A and B are shown apart, each in its own frame.
Chain A
Amino acid sequence: QQPVQSPQAVILREGEDAVINCSSSKALYSVHWYRQKHGEAPVFLMILLKGGEQKGHDKISASFNEKKQQSSLYLTASQLSYSGTYFCGTEGGADGLTFGKGTHLIIQP
Chain B
Amino acid sequence: NAGVTQTPKFQVLKTGQSMTLQCAQDMNHNSMYWYRQDPGMGLRLIYYSASEGTTDKGEVPNGYNVSRLNKREFSLRLESAAPSQTSVYFCASRGWGGDREKLFFGSGTQLSVL
Contact = CB atoms under 8 A, between A and B. Distances in A.
A binds B: yes
Interface residues of B, number: 24
A44 B33 CA distance: 15
Contacts of B44: 2, 98-99
- Secondary structure call for the B interface: mixed
Interface stretch (A10-18, A58-66, A74-82, A89-97): A89-97
A39 to B, nearest CB: 9
B74 interface: no
A40 B110 CA distance: 11
Contacts of A1: 59
Interface in B34-91: 35, 40-45, 48, 50, 56, 58-59, 90
Interface residues of A, number: 23
Interface of A: 1-2, 30, 32, 34, 40-44, 47, 49, 87, 89, 94-102
B42 A94 contact: no
B45 A96 contact: yes
B107 A42 contact: no
B110 to A, nearest CB: 10
Contacts of B58: 96, 98
Interface of B: 33, 35, 40-45, 48, 50, 56, 58-59, 90, 98-99, 101-108
Given A41-B90, A96-B58, A34 B103 contact: yes
A49 B103 contact: no
Nearest to B47: A96
Contact of B102 (A2, A44, A100, A102): A44
B35 to A, nearest CB: 7
Which of B42, B45, B98 has the largest number of chain A CB atoms within 10 A? B42
Contacts of A96: 33, 45, 48, 56, 58
Nearest to B56: A96
B46 to A, nearest CB: 10
